[in-house]
Amino acid sequence: MRNFKLGDFDGAGQYLLRMCPEEIIANKQGKKFAGYTDAGYLTTIVYKVGYVHRIEDFGQCRTLTSMADGWTQMNHFIKEEDGNLRRVFWASPKGAPAKAGRQIFVDHLNNDKGSEYRFATQEEVVRVVMSQNWRWK
Whether residue 115 is contained in a domain is answered as yes
Given this model, what pLDDT does residue 49 score?
94
Whether residue 75 is contained in a domain is answered as yes
pTM, 2 dp: 0.84
Whether residue 24 is contained in a domain is answered as yes
Whether residue 65 is contained in a domain is answered as yes
Given this model, what pLDDT does residue 96 score?
77
Domain that holds residue 91: 6-135
Q: Which of 45-49, 50-54, 71-75 is predicted least confidently? A: 50-54
Whether residue 62 is contained in a domain is answered as yes
> What's the pLDDT tens digit per position in 57-100?
777 889 999 998 889 999 999 889 999 999 888 888 777 777 88
Count of domains forming the chain = 1
Whether residue 59 is contained in a domain is answered as yes
Whether residue 1 is contained in a domain is answered as no
> What's the pLDDT tens digit per position in 92-123?
877 777 788 889 999 999 987 778 899 999 99
- Cα(127)–Cα(113) distance, rounded to whole angstroms? 28
pLDDT, mean of residues 38-53: 88
pLDDT, mean of residues 45-54: 88
Q: Which of 97, 79, 77, 99 is nearest to 88 (CA)?
A: 77
- 16 has pLDDT over 90: yes
Alpha carbon separation from 30 to 25, 33, 71, 118, 137 (Å, rounded): 9, 9, 33, 16, 43
Question: Long-range contact list for 107-110, CB < 8 A, 24+ apart?
Answer: 108/76, 109/2, 109/4, 109/16, 110/2, 110/3, 110/4
Q: Parallel, antiparallel, or unpaired for β 46-52 and 91-93?
A: unpaired
Alpha carbon separation from 107 to 6, 7, 15, 125, 132 (Å, rounded): 9, 13, 17, 24, 31
Q: What percent of the chain has pLDDT over 90?
A: 30
Q: What percent of the chain has pLDDT over 70?
A: 93
- 1 has pLDDT over 60: no
Whether residue 96 is contained in a domain is answered as yes
